[in-house]
Amino acid sequence: MIVHPDEDSLVGSVAARFITKLVDLLAENDEAHVVLTGGGMGGQTQRAIRDSSARDTVDWTRVHFWWGDERFLPAGDPERNDVQAREALLDALPTPAANVHPFPASDEIEDLDEAAAAYADQLLLAAPEGRKYPRFDITFLGVGPDGHIASLFPDRDGYRNADKTVVAVREAPKPPPNRLSLTLPAINSSDRIWMVLSGSDKAPALGLALAGASANEVPVAGVQGRKRTVFFVDKKAAADVPESLIASSY
């Protein structure tokens, strides 16, 4: 857990760390796969990456972008996570369009379940032999006040089904009601999961997750990357975090 005094220093430091990590990953591998999130902190982090003076140290042509979830809306809708990410970051990068992998839009595939299956197919196409999804290097997640991550909300079925990589989400408590999301196993297949959250409304969810709440009640409690899982938070979000956990899990 890394605690920053305020939002600006939080997103600035996550952006710097992301750029450094990508440079290292691309020195070792031909490509890197990054999973983006929607929400306020996702957008702010993306803008901080775009505006970083170190941005051009990354060979962005070898980076692939995926999303952890999407709001099921028509292509180009300003509420879509991919539209927000293009505006905040991707449009400023030389990444080829073929490396950007948004979820289907509701005017491309009308049926939500078919759209979920289509994204699962896209993941499979990019997967190494015998796997269902690419090797995700870094997955960003925001966390809702109810502890949701991506579009995995509390007390719902189907998120932990290891056979599935993508789920159709209906009647989501956060608008819009129809969404698409990676499942928890797909998220947890990522080498690194970086959760970025700020504000006192997030403190109870973070406190519960760290106190051992079930992933069913507080989905963020089920997040566990293969190599590292880090919470990047501001002081307000860390209000209910025991002192002993701060920085020690980093």
Least separation in angstroms between CB 68 and ligand 6PG: 6
150 binds ligand 6PG (CB under 6 A): yes
Interaction with ligand 6PG in 158-217: which residues (CB under 6 A)?
174
Interaction with ligand 6PG in 33-52: which residues (CB under 6 A)?
37-42
DSSP assignment letter at 189 = T
Q: In the complex with ligand 6PG, which residue's Cβ is closer, 42 or 222? A: 42
- Stretch in the footprint of ligand 6PG (CB under 6 A) among 23-31, 93-101, 146-154, 209-217: 146-154
Whole-angstrom distance, CA of residue 224 vs CA of residue 8: 26
154 binds ligand 6PG (CB under 6 A): no
Q: Give Cβ neighbours of residue 209 (< 8 Å, ≥ 6 apart).
A: 147, 218, 220, 221
Q: In the complex with ligand 6PG, which residue's Cβ is closer, 4 or 148? A: 148
CB 192 within 8 A of CB 228: yes
Q: In the complex with ligand 6PG, which residue's Cβ is closer, 69 or 137? A: 69
Buried b vs exposed e over 136-157: b needs ≥16 C-beta within 10 Å?
A: bbbbbbbbbebbbbbbbbbebe
Task: Identify the CA nearest to 167 among candidates 151, 154, 191, 144.
Answer: 151
Residues contributing to the site for ligand 6PG (CB under 6 A) = 37-42, 69, 71, 81, 142-144, 148-150, 174
